[in-house]
Amino acid sequence: MKQFDKIGVRVIGLSYDSAAVLKNFAERAGIQFPLLSDPDSKVIRQLGILNEEVPKESPFFGIPYPGVYIVGPDRKLEAKYFEEDFRQRYTAAGILVQRYGILPESRTATVEGKQLDAKLSASNFIVRPGERIALVLDLQMKPGIHVYAPGVNGYIPIEWQMPDTPVVHAFDTVFPKPEILFLQAINEKVPAYREHIRLTRDVILGTDAKVKEATGSGGRFTIEGTLRYQACDDRMCYIPQTMPLKWTLQYEAFDRQRVPENLQRKNR
C-alpha cells in the first residue's frame, strides 16, 4: 500500500459480501485498505460486471467479474483491467509496474553478458494460479555499446524469447521508445538503445494443478526465457548473443477459509 500512497492513489475494494463478512476477512488477512459492501450487487450491476454465469439460486450469485478500475481526480475512468476468463486476474503490483513504472519487489537476479548486464525482477514474488504479473528486465549496456530496437532493417534486433508452457502464458514484450542513432561509419540511421533500458512482459500463471506440478521443494518454481541481441559500438558489430533468463517464484494456494457459519450466505 505504501507504493500507492506515494503516488497519490487510493485503493478501495468492492464486494457483494456483507459488512460483517468483510470485517472478518479484513481482520484475518490484514487488509489495509477500505472494503465496501454491496450486498444487493446494486453498484456491481451499475458497473456492468455482474457474473451472470452463476445460477441465481446459488449463494454465490451477485459476485462481480474480478477487475480493477482506475479513476482520476475528476472522477473519470482512466483505465480498467479485466480478463475474459474470470479465473485470471491482474495483481496490484503488476499494475504498478506497467502503468506507473514502479517495481514493488526488491528480489533481483543478475546475469552478466559480454556487452550488457541484465537485472531480472518481477512485480510479485509470491504468486497464485491465474494471476497476471509483470516480469522485468533492466538492461545496462557497457560504455559505447548500443543494441538494435525491434523494427530495424539489416540488423538483429533485441528480442525477449519466452515460449508458452502449461505453467505460464507470456504476452508481448513492452519496449521503450528507441532513439534514432546516426552511425557515421556507414552513414545510416537506425533505431537503437544505449546505456540503460527497461523491458517488461506480462505473464499469466496456469491452473492450480499445473503450477503445483512445477513446484519443487518449498513450493518454488521457475519461469525461463532468453534474451537475444546483437551489440555494436562505433567501430564494429559483435557476434549475436543469447542470454539465459530465469525467474524463481513462490507458489501460494488461494485462501479458501470460510467465514463463521452464522455469516455465510445461504442458498436462495
pLDDT single digits (tens) 45-84: 888 888 888 788 777 777 888 889 999 889 899 998 988 7
Within-domain flag for 256? no
Cα–Cα distances (Å) from 11 to 1, 35, 69, 181, 184, in that order, read 8, 9, 10, 42, 51
266 part of a folded domain? no
Do 74 and 207 belong together in one domain?
no
Position 136 in a domain: yes
Same domain, 86 and 121: no
Same domain, 92 and 127: no
Quote the pLDDT of residue 251. 87
Task: Kindly state whether residue 27 falls inside one of the protein's structural domains.
Answer: yes
Per-residue pLDDT reduced to its tens digit, 169-192 = 999 999 999 999 887 767 788 899
Reduced to 3 states, what is the DSSP secondary structure of residue 115? coil
CB atoms within 10 A of CB 227: 23
* Residue 265 resides in a domain: no
- Grid cell in block for residue 145: 555499446
Per-residue pLDDT tens digits for 6-27: 888 889 999 888 898 899 888 8
- Residue-range definition of the domain harbouring residue 35: 2-100
Q: What is the pLDDT, as a whole number, of residue 123?
A: 92
Q: Are 142 and 89 contained in the same domain?
A: no
Give the amino acid at 216.
G
Shared domain for 118 and 235, answered yes or no, is: yes
Q: Which of 55, 83, 100 is the last residue of a domain?
A: 100
Is there a domain that residue 259 lies in?
no
Say which residue, 71 or 255, is predicted with more confidence.
71
